[in-house]
Amino acid sequence: MNREDFPMFNQDIIYFDNGATTFKPQIVIDKIKDYYENYSANAHRGDYDISYKVDLEYENTREKVVNFLNAKEKEEIIFTSGTTESLNMIASGFFAPIMEAGDEVIITTSEHASNVLPWFRLANEIGIKIKYIPLDDNYHVTIDNLKKVITPNTKVISIAYVTNVIGDIRPIKEITKLAHENNIFVVVDGAQSVPHLKTDVQDLDVDFLAFSAHKMLGPTGVGVLYGKRNLLEELKPINLGGGMNESFDNEQAIYLKELPHRLEAGTPNIAGVIGLGAAIDYLNNISMEKIHERELHLRNYLIEKLIKIPHIDILNLEADSGIVSFNVEGIFSQDVAYYLNKYNICVRAGNHCAKILKNATGVTNSIRISLYFYNTENEIDSLVELLQAKEKIEEEMI
Amino acid sequence: MDKEIKREIIMEHYSHPINRKRKEDGSYLKVNTNNSSCIDNLDIYIKIKNNIIEDIVFDGEACAISISSTSIMITNLIGKTVEEAFNFINNFEAMVNEEEYDALNLNEALVFEDIYKQSNRKNCALLPYKGIKKAIEDYLKTK
């Protein structure tokens, strides 16, 4: 689907690592090039025409993000360098000042490092406690299991909407409902969900959401921090500097700008933000519903074939996303990845930055296929054929 | 060396590596060695007495190339003096990095003479050497 829009497909390559990053359509590349070639000025100046155009395009992307997420207003959208920065800003800028020793954050063992380590820091520096929602037999989160770990000290639940190894979709709407009834904030890591599922922050009622542009056809180095406006007003800027202050005379007299600029110190990644705008247009043209439907179709197609191969152990049979994790019995996942690479098939082997997931699954590493709408049945056929004969893998893996 | 023979040696050391076990023994120095770009992660334990490497064992998870390279390295280093070991290590690294090297002394480690052609696997073959060098350097510091 739409493969002709992606210059990377001019190469003889099968790309199944979309959870790591996605390819970029020509229209996104052109948009970035257009900025550097035709109006390469700084933002927030407006004294001359090309700078004015920068502001228009930059703020135009913010409007696009507002619509894409069904947020209320542009003050809720902060551009960051990516999910990691967004989550660190939330933990250190919002929660660190309001949490005390003994307060609790609830996460899961299947979170990505960027939704674990910022909380570990608060545990080490402030003495907050980390609680884990027990995962069920499919490594999914259930409301019943969440209820078991909520205590009067719980201040925040911070979890991925879709996890990057198991690919399960968490019941965020139910989670926020339960959380808010108990005065608990909800932070959502949307890195693996926003590129694949329709996201409606008002319907989900999340307090904060973080995601990255490069996993949704956009450029690297750009991401978004969404927060409800009243909460973002309280988020302490980690970076101080240009573009975020109104005026200053001395250390007692510093006046900061209003949202969203207060949280975007320094010259932003202008080209990246503008490129994200083009990526959002592109995704909207296809429609997020169709993208999700296509990925589910491809996933089912892949699972149906993999399940018939006796030496393949699938880690996440139950998941409604394009992520399939598995191992070839008796062969180290990295060796399988090297073998597939000989046939120009790109897959990821390892623990996928979810280093505490092994506590739940007992599997320390795996091969991960992460699909996007542009993958094809033919590509899946090629992969499955190469995995059919274990002897062939053993023969060619070194 | 014939390609098929190389393959057999690598697979033999991968399937039946020498000295793959944990070692909780105070007379051994322990180092961890890992590749940040992949998931290879090994603990290497070395026992050096009177400047002679008496024993090396290892433990951990790694790919076929790393495991076999570790096993072959251990076979070659046990019994050597620290200086002889450094010579072997430097010689091996020179081969993998496409520099001048002495093929005569490398024995089975020669199976990796073509590994440079797969640049993403060079680090797999070098992994145990990175660890053992550090261990020997640590030993020399304690002397």
Would you call B64 and A397 a contact, using CB atoms and an 8 Å cutoff?
A: yes
Q: Tally the residues of chain A.
A: 398
Residue among A374, A200, A346 at smallest CA distance from A283: A374
Task: Name the residue among B10, B39, B64 with its Cβ closest to that of A349.
Answer: B39
Number of A–B residue contacts, CB under 8 Å? 35
B129 pLDDT tier (thresholds 50, 70, 90): very high
- Name chain A contacts of B7, Cβ cutoff 8 Å: 398
Q: How confident is the model at residue B51 (pLDDT cuts 50, 70, 90)?
A: very high
Q: Write out the residue range of the structural domain in which residue A312 sits.
A: 287-396
Domain boundary among A231, A257, A285: A285
d(CA B82, CA B71): 18
* Distance separating alpha carbons of residues A13 and A340, to the nearest angstrom: 11
Under 8 Å CB-to-CB from A320, ≥6 apart: which residues? A167, A168, A169, A296
Report if residue A19 sits inside a domain: no
CA distance B20 to chain A (A): 16
Interface of A with B (CB under 8 A): 332-335, 338, 341, 349-351, 364-365, 394, 397-398
Say yes or no: A315 and A252 in one domain. no
> Is the same domain home to A334 and A212?
no
Tell me the per-residue pLDDT of A187-226, one tens digit each, with 9 for 90 and over. Answer: 999 999 999 999 999 999 999 999 999 999 999 999 999 9
Q: Which of A57-66, A93-102, B36-45, B73-82 has the lowest mean pLDDT?
A: B36-45
Same domain, A134 and A239: yes
**Bridging pattern class, strands A185-189 and A154-160:** parallel
Cα torsion A109, A114, A117, A123 to 10°: value is: -90
List C-alpha distances in Å: B7 to A89, A158, B119: 51, 48, 18
**In terms of domains, do A221 and A293 share one?**
no
DSSP string spanning A149-162?
Answer: H--TTEEEEEEESB
CATH number at residue A281: 3.40.640.10
Beta bridge partners of B83: none
Domain boundaries, chain B: 3-142
CB A344 within 8 A of CB A12: yes
Which residues, 6+ apart, have CB-to-CB distance to B8 below 8 Å?
none
Asked whether residue B37 carries a pLDDT value surpassing 80, the answer given is no
Question: Do A172 and A268 sit in the same domain of this protein?
Answer: yes
Note the Cα A33 to chain centre separation in Å: 25
Share of chain A above pLDDT 70, in %: 99
Shared-domain flag, residues A195 and A91: yes
Average of pLDDT values for A109-117?
Answer: 95
Give the CATH fold of the B3-142 domain. Answer: Sufe protein. Chain: A (3.90.1010)
**Which residues have C-beta within 8 Å of that of residue B2, sequence separation ≥ 6?**
none
pLDDT for the residue B44: 94
For chain B, the residues whose C-beta falls within 8 A of a C-beta of chain A are: 7, 10-11, 14, 38-40, 61-65, 68, 118, 120-121
| Eight-state DSSP code of residue A370 | E
Residue A18 lies in a domain: no
Task: Confirm if A212 and A308 have CB atoms less than 8 A apart.
Answer: no
- A363: CATH: 3.90.1150.10
The answer on A359 and A240 residing in a single domain is no
Residue where a domain stops, chosen among A265, A285, A305: A285
What is the reported pTM? 0.90
For residue A384, the model assigns a pLDDT of 98
**Residues of chain B contacting A358 with CB distance shorter than 8 Å:** none
Residue A368: what residue type? R
Amino acid at B68: S
Exactly one of A29, A256, A331, A353 is catalytic; which is it? A353
Residue A159 β-bridge partners: A188
Q: How many domains does chain A have?
A: 2
User: With bands split at pLDDT 50, 70 and 90, how would you rate the model's confidence at A44?
Assistant: confident
DSSP SS3 for A77: strand
